[in-house]
Structure 1
Amino acid sequence: MQQHWKRQAQACLLPLAAVLLLFLTVPLVIMIRQSFGDQSGAGFSFANFMQILSQPFYYDAFRNSFFISIYSALAGLVLALFVAAALARMNEKAQERIILFINMTANFAGVPLAFAYIILLGNAGFVTLVLQHMGISLQSFFNLYSWQGLALTYVYFQVPLGVLFLYPAFKGMDQRWAEAASLLGASRFSFWARIGIPHILPSVLGTFIILFANGMGTYETAYALVGGTVSLVTTRIASSVSGDIFAQPQIGSAMAVLFSILMIAVLIANQYLLRLFRRDLK
């Protein structure tokens, strides 16, 4: 009887396995195979990788994506820490309402987010016209269609995502911990240094990695806002696959492979740091 239910459970997993195979495994294999192909589609070559690593055009895309992701992840993480800490101190009803709003905000990204910023802060945006009416030129110190605009929009969707991941860590901190530490003579600083920060640090490191990966993989917002003005990995991959003049799917696949290696290296570094941290706590 147990074997019968086990076979039925395995049969129910077949549709999931088929979806994973068709939409994850097969495209991944094709991408890796194509990245080592030449322009004719036949043969095996490292020319695509050599071209990406040797030309500043592609190097700038990786550098820009890396720094904008680091900046947005750090800024989003710091702001999310304050929001999550304050949220955990509120009453249950307020927490539920705010979490619902944060969930909606975290999913407001892509082209709609870029369009909303254009309406507000674009050359003819609402805030721009209001400031212009007051005698203040927004374009003199802020350009939405540049690095400044990208940084602002990236931080916008990084903060709510960071709050969703950090909130459970702060919620899991029992107020009695601080009270017990105070009774034993520990200061507020000692409590956070010895108990609070070690408790939330694994969540902080994990959240930073998620925010960094989210920033690296962002495409719709960046493309709708700056197009090809700021070179990013995601926009370069898309232009290589589609091509304004002619497509270069081999280059796009090679960039995607390098992008995947970079993300895997970041994840491995994060797991290594977590293991070191947990070992030091023991």
Structure 2
Amino acid sequence: MFQNEKRKYLILLLPFALLILLFELMPLANILINSFLEPGTGGITLSNFTTIFTSDYYLMSIKNSLFVSVLSALIGIAIALLGAYAIHAAGDRMKKFYITTLNMTSNFQGIVLAFAFILLLGNSGILTTLGERWSLAGLNDYDLYTTSGILITFIYFQIPLATLLLYPSFDGIKTEYKEAASLMNATTWQFWSKIGLPLVLPSIFGTFSVLFSNALAAYATPYALLGNNFALLPIRISSMFTGDIVQQVELGSALSIVMLVLMSTMTVLSNSLLKKFRKGV
């Protein structure tokens, strides 16, 4: 009986395992192998990685990607914490409305998001035009096609995702905890620093890791805004595989491995910091 049940579960698992093999493991293995191949000859080499870490052209894309990813994740979490607490404190009807809205806006990214920001903050955008007409500082001469423009668009799609990931953690802060802290004459700062923050912090670390990876791999939005004119890892990788003149598959694969290592490193760091914090608490 047990063997029959086990066989049935394995059969049901087979399509999922096949999907993982075809679209996750095999492409990853192909990229990993290509990253160590010499362009043209096919010999084993480390020259692709040497080229990446000795060229300002590629180092700039790594630095820009790290800067935008870290900053957009931090700002997104800071704003999302307020939204998550608002959802926690809201009634059932408003909570459903907030969550529905967040689910909708969290999927509003890519080319559609870039087009929306061009309409709002582009050279002839609605807000830019109003800023010029009314001499509004910050809007009358705003340039969307810079690092700040990329950062704003990234923060926009980070906030709903971060809020959806964070708001369940506030449910762990029971009303009884607040009442007990109030009876002990604890201030609001003392409550959040000693009770609230330790309960929410695990979700913050996990959310930061997700947001960082989300921003680091984002391609459609920055490409729709700036094309190949802004140095980001996904844009550089894409240009290697779809070059107009010459494809550089080996170098593009090496860049992909670098991006994967950056994501993995951030995940490991987040988990290690969380473990240290839990031990300290």
Within a 5 Å distance, the mapping from 1:1-282 to structure 2 comes to 1-40=1-40, 42-135=42-135, 141-281=141-281
1:193–1:132: structure 2 CA closer, same or farther, 3 Å change rule?
A: closer
Of 83-92 and 128-137, more deviation after overlay is shown by 128-137
User: C-alpha displacement at 1:244, in angstroms?
Assistant: 2.5
Task: Give deviations 1:59-96, integer Å, cap 9, x for gaps.
Answer: 00000000011110111110011111122111111000
3-state secondary structure, aligned to 1:38: coil
Aligned counterparts of 1:165 and 1:41: Cα–Cα separation in 2: 47
Gaps of 5+ in 1: none
3-state secondary structure, aligned to 1:13: helix
Aligned counterparts of 1:147 and 1:40: Cα–Cα separation in 2: 36
3-state secondary structure, aligned to 1:124: coil
Aligned counterparts of 2:181 and 2:131: Cα–Cα separation in 1: 51
CA contact (8 A) 2:37 2:250 kept: yes
1:190–1:134: structure 2 CA closer, same or farther, 3 Å change rule?
A: closer
3-state secondary structure, aligned to 2:43: coil
1:66–1:246: structure 2 CA closer, same or farther, 3 Å change rule?
A: same
Task: Give deviations 1:107-141, integer Å, cap 9, x for gaps.
Answer: 10000000011111111222223333335586753
3-state secondary structure, aligned to 2:228: coil
Paired letter, 1:74: L
RMSD: 1.4
Task: Give deviations 1:157-191, integer Å, cap 9, x for gaps.
Answer: 01111100110011221112110111123222221
Query: How many residues end up aligned between the 2 structures?
Result: 281
- In the superposition, the TM-score normalised over structure 2's length comes to 0.96
User: C-alpha displacement at 1:248, in angstroms?
Assistant: 0.4
Aligned counterparts of 1:195 and 1:135: Cα–Cα separation in 2: 47
Sequence identity, in percent?
38
Task: Give deviations 1:201-245, integer Å, cap 9, x for gaps.
Answer: 111111111111111011000100111222000000000111132
Aligned counterparts of 1:275 and 1:201: Cα–Cα separation in 2: 11
User: C-alpha displacement at 1:41, in angstroms?
Assistant: 5.2
Of 231-240 and 265-274, more deviation after overlay is shown by 265-274
1:136–1:176: structure 2 CA closer, same or farther, 3 Å change rule?
A: closer
Paired letter, 1:143: D
CA contact (8 A) 1:87 1:167 kept: yes
Aligned counterparts of 1:201 and 1:137: Cα–Cα separation in 2: 37
CA contact (8 A) 1:142 1:148 kept: no
CA contact (8 A) 1:123 1:139 kept: no
CA contact (8 A) 2:87 2:167 kept: yes
CA contact (8 A) 2:131 2:140 kept: no
- In the superposition, the TM-score normalised over structure 1's length comes to 0.96
CA contact (8 A) 1:128 1:138 kept: no
Aligned counterparts of 2:139 and 2:44: Cα–Cα separation in 1: 50
Paired letter, 2:70: I
CA contact (8 A) 1:132 1:138 kept: no
